[in-house]
Amino acid sequence: MKDAATTASPAAPACPAAPASPAALASLAALASPAAYAEAVATAVRAAAAYYADGATPLGDDEYDALVRAIEAYEREHPGEVLPETPTGKVAGGAAVGDVPHSAPMLSLDNVFSAEELESWAAGLERRLGHPVAAWCVEPKLDGLAVAARYRAGRLTRLLTRGDGLAGEDITHAADTVLGLPARLAEPLDVELRGEVLLTHEQFERANAVRTAHGATPFAHPRSGAAGTLRAKDRAYRLELTFFGYDALGLPGLDHGDLLARLAELGVGTAAGTQAAPRRCATLAEVEQRIGEIAGMRAALPFGIDGVVVKADAAADQERAGSGSRAPRWAVARKLRAQHKVTRLLGVEWNVGRTGIIAPRAVLEPVVIDGVTVTYATLHNPADIERRGLMLGDQVFVYRAGDVIPRVEAPLVDERTGAEQPIAFPEACPRCGDAIDTSEQRWRCVRGRGCQTVASVIYAAGRDQLDIEGLGGTRAVQLVEAGLVTDLADLFTLSREQLLTLERMGDTSADKLLAAIETARTRPLNRVFCALGIRGTGRTMSRRIAAHFGSMAAIRAADAEALAAVDGIGVEKAAVILAELAAVGPLLDRLAAQGVGVGVTEPAAAVTAPPTAADQGGSVGPLAGQSVVVTGSMTGALADLSRNAVNELIERAGGKASSSVSKRTTLLVAGEKAGSKRAKAEELGVSITTPEEFAVLVADFLP
Ligand code: IVH
């Protein structure tokens, strides 16, 4: 990140793959005075120095880039005020040091942040060449540290950091820990390899496990881990790193793609062996496509990338274009949004999972990472919190990639103010109050799955599930604590005598509760299924599953493929539902023995419920083929219906109920205080109706 130059104007629009913030931040933070400029320079210099030392800077990559752009903009307007310490135009922001001269300068790369900026950069290059670029090469921008590895007669003799580009630090002592950097090449050549050293995700995890086992603090970031590891001399342990070569001195005349192939031949690691392999592209359109592909596979790559590098592939083009003092003119980095951000740890929540595992979750000051606002992050387990030495109020590094659950990596210890507080660990199960088994890394309620009983009974008895009136939180706790209910099926075995043993349970309440439970026995399949609390199956999905399979027996007989045939269930969700169904198998058997969920097929169940469109003469109803969304508060005939009941009504009338407005939505029922969904429907030209008009439309299907 510390390459303090960009080629394009700060006002250029950012494309989706580019950091959203830099251009925006830079214009927001337009430097209005010499004092603001001086402060920005000081901040950038401090950040570059911290980054170079160990990578743990409170300024994220995106913010640093934005700051440098603002500084550049100011310097363009006030050329007479440029401070000598400015990071602009300097390799490593001017922060790096080293005393071994490089055989040729180790250059940096200019950055672009959008397709438009890339296009104008390419046009500039072609103008300079006086002809179109012969071919492009597109490859990942590896998020590590640049090194130079000197070989004499095929033997590795010296390893250097980039330093300030002219001289670097000698880190030869670390050479034998770097995969991809052989002690001996396949041929006895005199060459100098240039490339990036990094910790792959696996190496990063392993490094942190080893470090914490040695009582050291874990690395906050793979790059700071790689930087620290390359420099460390007296560690009691050895950590493995990875090298990917992308350049070489001493192998002249090769086009870039051929150079990479030659490096691989010599036994050197390159990105060619990875999913994001460098690719030759004939046109800029192909280049853009490959950038999109590499950006898209970022989360799945086994190592971090912070951009995509576009290079003129032909040696002749490179030679003709030449280099500036800081960067070559034939290559440019298209930056991607940072996946690591710094934010504050506000609190820790302790959630009890269905198996009784008590898992800590970090509550964060909201931070946008790669376009998504992150408010929570996983903390794995209590031992992990201790290993990472986290405190409430800490500035922390948070990592988020693709669909991976964001995680807190480590605190920025140097940023502590003294106001940080220790994180309190629970002494009793936060859900049921019973003891915690702390013998394993992952803490667990001693009741295991049983801890869930109270919560699952309350859920199952809820209005949209079995709708058992009189069975709220207090009663559920009483029943479970008295040992009368250990799972949902026990509810249906309760006797009057048993109920009367409970405190504050008189004859009338007992009779009422028994009657409510009796009614629940005949609830339609979709509600019985929903009551099971299977992950990924809320009310809508339960209705779809019930309608699709028709009976509990058919649901239980379904394999993943059959489940995935239900609208809205993908392959992943099907696997989760299948596993959960297997886990509740014994419960389903016991429920079946009580006559719950058996014999009721979905259409038969509907006999006790209002008629369905199918009952009314086929699969057509007034809403056949419609995708309906309901928003705002309902009035008129719909006033007393829960949202779930309105959705059930839509489906009975032959329509599909959905919770969000999209292009596929055909009708929005907008009640009072309808907000963003109404606006979206208007924008998309979706028909909008009032609850009253809608009630007339579906009058035959009202409960
Ligand atoms: S080419 C003259 N290719 O990014 C060649 N650099 O921000 C200049 N980097 O200094 C470098 N992946 O440390 C090149 N595929 C790649 C790269 C790459 C990562 C680093 C390198 C460079 C920095 C610039």
CATH class of domain segment(s) 448-520:
mainly alpha
Q: What is the mean pLDDT of residues 109-123?
A: 95
In terms of CATH, what superfamily is 606-703? BRCT domain (3.40.50.10190)
Give residue ranges with CB within 6 A of ligand 1: 3, 107-109, 139, 141-142, 146, 196, 246-247, 309, 328, 331, 333
Collapsed DSSP state (helix, strand, coil) of residue 98 = coil
Indicate the top mutation candidate among 90, 106, 109, 142 to test ligand 1's pocket, ranked by most ligand atoms within 8 A of CB.
Answer: 109
Mean confidence (pLDDT) of the chain: 87
Cβ neighbours around 469 below 10 Å, total: 14
Highest mean pLDDT among 159-168, 242-251, 556-565, 618-627: 242-251
**From the candidates 141, 311, 335, 677, which is the catalytic residue?**
141
Phi/psi of residue 554, nearest 5 degrees = -70, -35
Residue 656 appears among annotated catalytic residues: no
In terms of Cα–Cα distance, which of 327, 247, 284, 345 is closest to 133?
284
Spatial distance between the Cα atoms of 692 and 684, rounded to a whole number of angstroms: 23
Q: What is the mean pLDDT of residues 97-121?
A: 92
Q: Domain 340-425 belongs to what architecture?
A: Beta Barrel (2.40)
* Residue 55 pLDDT grade (very low, low, confident, very high; cuts 50, 70, 90): low
Total-model pTM: 0.60
Domain positions in the chain are: 4-94, 100-335, 340-425, 448-520, 606-703
CA angle 177–248–115, rounded 5-degree value = 100
Domains 448-520 and 606-703 share a fold: no
In terms of CATH, what superfamily is 100-335? DNA ligase/mRNA capping enzyme (3.30.470.30)
Check: CB of residue 620 under 8 Å from CB of residue 654.
Answer: yes
Of all residues in the chain, the percent with pLDDT exceeding 90 is 57
> What is the CA(228)–ligand 1 centre distance, in A?
19
> What is the CA(149)–ligand 1 centre distance, in A?
15
Taking only the tens place, the pLDDT of each residue in 330-382 is 999 999 988 899 999 999 999 987 678 999 999 999 999 988 899 999 998 99
User: What pLDDT is recorded for position 6?
Assistant: 41
In terms of Cα–Cα distance, which of 459, 461, 457, 516 is closest to 482?
457
Joined together, the tokens standing for residue 579 give 């596993």
Of all protein residues, the one whose alpha carbon is nearest to atom 14 of ligand 1 is: 246
Q: Which residue has the tokens 């050293």?
A: 197
Phi/psi of residue 622, nearest 5 degrees = -65, -20
Of all protein residues, the one whose alpha carbon is nearest to atom 6 of ligand 1 is: 141
